[in-house]
Amino acid sequence: MTGAAPAAGTGEAAPAVRGRGAFGTLRMEAVSRRFGSATALDRLDLTIEGGEFLALLGPSGCGKSTALNCLAGLLPLSGGSIRLDDERIDTLPPEKRGFGMVFQNYALFPHLTVRKNVGFGLAVRGTPKAEMARRVDEALALVELSDHAHKLPGRLSGGQQQRVAIARAVVIRPRLVLMDEPLSNLDAKLRLQMRTEIRKLHQSLGLTTVYVTHDQEEALALADRVVVLRHGVVEQIGTPEQVYTFPRNTYVAGFMGYRNLLELPVASREGRRVVLEEPGLRLTGVAQEDLDGMSAVAAMRPDDFTVGRAGPNTVRVSVEVAEFHGREMAVEGVTESGRVVHFRSPERMAPGDKVDLGVPADRVLVFATGGTSGGASHGATGGGSDGAFGGGSGGTSGGVSRGASGGEG
């Protein structure tokens, strides 16, 4: 995206549109939202730093869009408060908060031109015409839509309509930009392109952004911090690397791509080193939390496995399904005891092949059993909306595998 002019005396491009009134912190304090007897948000405590890109991540019904709408003022709170620095803002109507919002369905006025859609917020605020024209021109140049200013939204592609929605949000120079799954209606190629452009805009304009998504890959690529939600409660907050590498529990692990969640008997423990074992399968891993039961859950990513023996952690599987993914295969195999294992391989494989898989002990994360897996499967396979295999960007926690038989819980 272009549209920035050189800053005087610097020779560097200065952003044409900047967020107004940069703030220090935005705090959601014990924020709750109920719909009748259903609790969508349960005493949410969250601090957003000025200038950061924060992603709210979770499956449908986890409370992420509810939290965003509470921030925007589109939903009243059932409890708690929202403060922008020292100012309480949850009592203010949406138009008084100074936030911009990008909706999942774009929410463009079909009878207004691109220019009038972008300038709508400025017109409502009574911005003088000359200034409004200048700021709309700057915003359109920023999202590379100057040549489409006089078109109606129906004549634009999905990506162009999303750019109009983004331009409309930033043209008011908001203190905070709220984005509610803005890329979910776009095709895969366009999602990647727009993801990059959103991050560039955030950086070049010095924005503070709260971004809602069910796609873990999207959250990891865009955000400075990720908030993983479940049933209106925060499961984990951290940098993308922290959440990806050190998930707090099996729910977060499953959502972060640990497709292999195997509940196994605990054979021995020595400090954080844990050995899990059943007939035909023995794994050594690292405990991520206190283990107080006779069994525990081993979490492993498909790409943690290597084909061939590698140390004490060797798993022998029979290939059931192999998918071609370009330079590698996404493979589903089954152990002698009926455990389903997902892994990736640079080698071509076919159903019926016998394969030995190795996984380093430090890549086997061991969690306590219990109600943290989020829709655990009592069968051999873990759930996943990202397709049958792989690390998964889909909105699912995966399921804990407890054996070869049974149905989904």
Placement of tokens 């917020």 in the chain: 121
What is the structure's pLDDT at 384?
34
| Distance between CA atoms of residues 69 and 209, nearest Å | 14
Query: By the 8 A CB rule, do 368 and 289 touch?
Result: yes
What is the structure's pLDDT at 49?
94
DSSP state for residue 377 in the 8-state scheme: B
| Distance between CA atoms of residues 173 and 353, nearest Å | 59
| Distance between CA atoms of residues 369 and 351, nearest Å | 32
What is the structure's pLDDT at 220?
95
Tell the burial category of 10 from Cβ atoms under 10 Å away from its Cβ (0-12, 13-18, 19+).
exposed
Three-state secondary-structure class, residue 236: strand
Tell the burial category of 249 from Cβ atoms under 10 Å away from its Cβ (0-12, 13-18, 19+).
buried
Closest residue by Cα to residue 94 from 76, 73, 66, 78: 73
Query: By the 8 A CB rule, do 199 and 183 touch?
Result: no
Q: What φ, ψ does residue 42 adopt, rounded to 5°?
A: -120, 95
Report the DSSP beta bridge partners of residue 87. Answer: 84
What is the structure's pLDDT at 143?
85
- Is pTM beyond 0.85? Reply is no
- Helix H or strand E encompassing 295: strand 295-300
Q: Which two tokens stand for residue 182?
A: 């803005």
What is the structure's pLDDT at 379?
32
The pLDDT tens digits along the chain (409 residues) read 444 433 333 333 334 444 444 789 999 999 999 999 999 999 999 999 999 999 999 999 999 999 999 999 999 999 999 999 989 999 999 988 989 888 888 889 999 999 999 999 898 888 899 999 999 998 898 888 999 999 999 999 888 888 898 889 888 889 899 999 988 878 888 888 888 888 988 988 889 999 999 999 999 999 999 999 999 999 999 999 999 999 999 999 998 989 999 999 999 999 999 999 998 899 999 999 988 889 999 999 999 999 987 677 889 999 999 999 999 999 999 998 899 999 999 989 999 999 999 999 999 999 998 745 443 333 333 333 333 333 333 334 445 665 533 333 3
